[in-house]
Chain A
């Protein structure tokens, strides 16, 4: 397995762990809300900050471990070739489409929520505050990053 592929495994693992941490806690916060309760600005802000910190700590620990375990340090400066660039482009495309699809859903939810305030047939009943929208966009970015890393791994494992 090349250094680049090991790097990708770390990246995927970090994305997966951070996603699980973030969504588990954000859903816990949102589901605990009553109809009359105020939006938990402080809890969500704290969650976003702790997710960023967790991501930095995990990256530092995992990449340091990887560097220590792969004894030959010359391998760490392995230049990328045309196949690496091809896989990067393909996985960027997967990440881009994932981001587009999730963002479209978020925009759709905002539009439906805004236009259906007086409608009896179509209502989401989700308090679309700016903070919730920001959280949804962070979720989109996280999932897109995960999709990008996972698809790159798929291409490396497949070989072409």
Chain B
């Protein structure tokens, strides 16, 4: 197994928000840049609290930032 089924749009949202750097977003949500990088690469699933913090930073609902890609859903889409 490599990574997680929790996918995200963090990279796209960062670029849309004045090309915010990983370091800047990491500082705002209180994690290390390495942790944000792991979340962005879908290698690590953040806690619910951290997921809400990230969504809040982009002023987006949680669903627009994170999605859960089960096998069935992946086939449907």
Which residues of chain A have a CB within 8 Å of any CB of chain B?
A: 2, 4-5, 78-79, 81-84, 156, 158-160
- Checking A4, A5, A83 against B31 with a beta-carbon cut-off of 8 angstroms, the contacting residue is A83
Measured CB to CB, the closest approach of chain B to A133, in angstroms, equals 41
User: Is B41 a contact of A82 with CB atoms below 8 Å?
Assistant: no
| Interface of chain B, main secondary structure | loop
Take A159-B38, A159-B41, A160-B38 as given contacts and tell me if A82 and B47 are in contact as well, using a CB distance cutoff of 8 Å. yes
Q: For the side of the interface on B, what is the size category?
A: 10 to 19
- Checking B4, B35, B41 against A83 with a beta-carbon cut-off of 8 angstroms, the contacting residue is B35
Name the B residues within 8 Å of A159 (CB-CB): 37-38, 41, 43-44
Which residues of chain B have a CB within 8 Å of any CB of chain A?
A: 3-4, 30-35, 37-38, 41, 43-44, 46-47, 50
A156 to B44, CA, bound (A): 11
User: Is A2 a contact of B34 with CB atoms below 8 Å?
Assistant: yes
